[in-house]
Amino acid sequence: MKRKSIGMRMMRAAMAIAVGGSAMQLSGCDPNVRTTLIDGLQATTTSLSTSLITAFFLSIANDAAASDGFTTG
């Protein structure tokens, strides 16, 4: 498996800390505000995941359609 660059690993770690930290800070918020923020985050995450999964399967389908049925390997 290919290792990611140090910059990419640092960015992913920073994003995880930012998201995790913001979720912890919501415990002191008004319940309506907290619910709205969490629902928005859930909708965004679901939409992003769906888009990535769809793109993955479309790329597989395009690779299969472009193939002439012979394997090289």
- pLDDT one-digit tens code per residue, 16-53: 777 666 656 667 778 888 888 889 889 999 999 999 99
Mean pLDDT to the nearest integer, 51-59: 91
CA angle 51-39-33, nearest 5°?
145
Q: Looking at the domain assignment, is residue 56 inside a domain? A: yes
The domain containing residue 27 runs over which residues? 6-64
Say which DSSP state 60 is in: H
**More confident of the two residues 13 and 20:** 13
Q: Looking at the domain assignment, is residue 13 inside a domain? A: yes
Q: Looking at the domain assignment, is residue 71 inside a domain? A: no
For residues 35 and 30, what is the distance between their CA atoms, to the nearest angstrom? 9
Token duo for residue 5: 């660059």
Q: Looking at the domain assignment, is residue 47 inside a domain? A: yes
How many structural domains does the chain have?
A: 1
Using a cut of 0.85, tell me whether the model's pTM lies above it: no
Listing DSSP states for 21-59 in one string gives HHHHHGGGS-HHHHHHHHHHHHHHHHHHHHHHHHHHHHH
pLDDT value, residue 43: 92
Mean pLDDT to the nearest integer, 7-18: 81
Mean pLDDT to the nearest integer, 5-12: 84
Q: Looking at the domain assignment, is residue 36 inside a domain? A: yes
pLDDT value, residue 50: 93
